[in-house]
Amino acid sequence: MKIMISPSLWPLDKKKEEAAMSSQAPRKRYREEDLAEALEEHERGGAKVTQLSNKYGIPERTLWWKIAKRKADRAPMRPWPAPALGSESEEDIFQWALAMQRKGYPADKETLISKGKEIAAVMFGKTRGAGTVGRGWCDRFLRRHPQLTTRSAQTGAGAQSIYNMDETSFERNVKTRKVIARRGSRNVWSRSVDANFDLTLVACGSASGELLPPLFIVPGKRLNRDVLAAADFPGARVTTADAGFMTTAIMREWLVAFAADVPTPVRRPLILVLDGASFHMDESIDIVAEQVGVRIVQLPPNSSHLYQPLDVAVFRGVKQALKTEISNFLVGSGQTTMKKRDAVRVAVSAWIVGAVQRPSNIVASFQAAGIWPLSLPAMSKRLTSFQRNGTSVDSPSPAWLVCRQTIHTEILVLPPETEKKQRRGKTVDVKRRLLTHDDLQRD
């Protein structure tokens, strides 16, 4: 019986035999210093592995393995050319792009390229930096920063589309004020103007500083022509109500007029911020608002003094101007009663002086209230200030006031005062008596 051995198996057996023989010999026949020097020489001059093996007595297999391991331990090389503007400049551009998006002004590719060209001109000069940045650089920049991508920008509501409507009433009497009088005067009397009716001023302004014509609501059923003529302001409107205050019917008509007064180029829908406690709001208001392209945003109830922009920074100037106009009316006419036409004329003058001539106050009022730009920190700051009721941050809290009373009465206490004993003599007059202990206490 013959056993045939395949020739392909013979080399395998031979390799096993050589490996077994080599395992009996020492595996390492070189020094670590020679290995390090061989690797350094290979990197410096690119010497062949065969030459290094013969020179230092290191097996070629060992050299190849050490070279490969050394390359793997290093940081991988960039798969694209080095940034034309440098890594630091590109990091600044990257952070700028993120900040622009947070501000609501996201940059497009053209803006990115324009900024890159400006930076290149500063770094390399106008001549050399002219062709450094282009469309290709922008594409590579986006690949190097995968956190950025391109999106279709949605044009949202801007400052010119956000409005606030608020109401303020006409003060019947001017409050007591300080006046100049002769020293020694006991009582100083001052004439005042009294109006036996209520007048409501309905104002509306945008976050961009635009004021719409006001609406004046006077009591009654019919309107005298002289009252309407007194509203001498472009676009101003006058109407009547039983008590002189806003009603649901007037609110519906005002919404239609509001949408018509806003310039056509302003993007719709319009955002109208209102006080959430308005009693004249119902479903019919929402229907009309939807028809005219207005979206109503109602603030929390009873927060007009905190978050209504017109109430925050505009109406104060109007009321101050109103006091001045009433005083001028009193001095100029000598009358102590005011008719409806006079009240409307005075209110128009106060509106012009206190609001129309101060457009910066309108923009500042939206910012201070945190309505636009929308700011939760600004809203929280106003709420915190209101809750402190004007006290400073360092003022003690109510909880501490309760604890302080307990601490003062139970913990931080002082020892009682020592009672002063009545001074008595050390001797007792006998006076021919037989003294007892009771006599000691009496004397």
| CATH number of the domain encompassing residue 201 | 3.30.420.10
* 181 occurs within a structural domain: no
* 214 occurs within a structural domain: yes
Confidence (pLDDT) at 433: 65
> Is the Cβ–Cβ distance between 205 and 212 less than 8 Å?
yes
For the record, the structure tokens of 174 come out as: 């001017």
38 and 109, same domain (yes or no): no
* 338 occurs within a structural domain: yes
60 and 92, same domain (yes or no): no
Into how many domains does the chain fold? Answer: 3
Q: What is the CA radius of gyration of the chain?
A: 45
Confidence (pLDDT) at 160: 92
Give SS3 for 338.
coil
Residue 101: give the domain boundaries. Answer: 87-144
202 and 94, same domain (yes or no): no
Confidence (pLDDT) at 1: 42
411-420 b/e (C-beta count within 10 Å ≥ 16 → b)? eeeeeeeeee
Confidence (pLDDT) at 81: 64
262 and 371, same domain (yes or no): yes
- DSSP annotation of 393 reads T
Amino acid at 203: A
Compute the distance between CA of residue 315 and CA of residue 420 in angstroms, rounded to an integer: 68
* 165 occurs within a structural domain: yes
> Is the Cβ–Cβ distance between 224 and 257 less than 8 Å?
no
Q: Where are the alpha helices (DSSP H) in 192-247?
A: 225-230
The 10 Å Cβ neighbour count of residue 105 is: 10
64-101 b/e (C-beta count within 10 Å ≥ 16 → b)? eebbeeeeeeeeeeeeeeebbbeeebbeebbeebeeee
Confidence (pLDDT) at 410: 61
| 270-274 vs 162-169, strand pairing mode | parallel
* 226 occurs within a structural domain: yes
256 and 381, same domain (yes or no): yes
Helix/strand/coil percentages in the chain, nearest 5? 50, 10, 40
Confidence (pLDDT) at 9: 43
The 10 Å Cβ neighbour count of residue 206 is: 24
Q: Is the torsion defined by CA of 386, 391, 394, 396 positive or negative? A: negative
96 and 63, same domain (yes or no): no
* 335 occurs within a structural domain: yes
Q: How far is CA 155 from CA 158, 206, 223, 267, 269, in A?
A: 8, 18, 44, 9, 12
Confidence (pLDDT) at 235: 94
Which residue, of 14, 42, 70, is where some domain finishes?
Answer: 70
Compute the distance between CA of residue 274 and CA of residue 296 in angstroms, rounded to an integer: 7
277 and 315, same domain (yes or no): yes
Confidence (pLDDT) at 340: 92
> Is the Cβ–Cβ distance between 204 and 211 less than 8 Å?
yes
49 and 91, same domain (yes or no): no
45 and 108, same domain (yes or no): no
316 and 342, same domain (yes or no): yes
> Model-level pTM?
0.56
352 and 208, same domain (yes or no): yes
> Is the Cβ–Cβ distance between 171 and 319 less than 8 Å?
yes
> Is the Cβ–Cβ distance between 286 and 296 less than 8 Å?
yes
Confidence (pLDDT) at 421: 62
Mean pLDDT per 10-residue interval, the chain, length 443 residues:
44 49 58 85 80 87 85 59 80 88 81 87 75 85 87 70 92 64 74 78 95 94 91 94 91 95 91 81 91 93 88 93 88 84 94 94 93 88 78 56 60 60 64 64 65
Question: Residue 52 belongs to a domain with what CATH number?
Answer: 1.10.10
Confidence (pLDDT) at 248: 92
Give SS3 for 291.
helix
- Give the Cα-Cα-Cα angle 216, 231, 196 (nearest 5 degrees): 55
For the record, the structure tokens of 110 come out as: 């053209």
242 and 286, same domain (yes or no): yes
Q: How far is CA 257 from CA 65, 100, 122, 212, 251, in A?
A: 84, 36, 54, 10, 10
* 55 occurs within a structural domain: yes
* 152 occurs within a structural domain: no
For the record, the structure tokens of 178 come out as: 């300080």
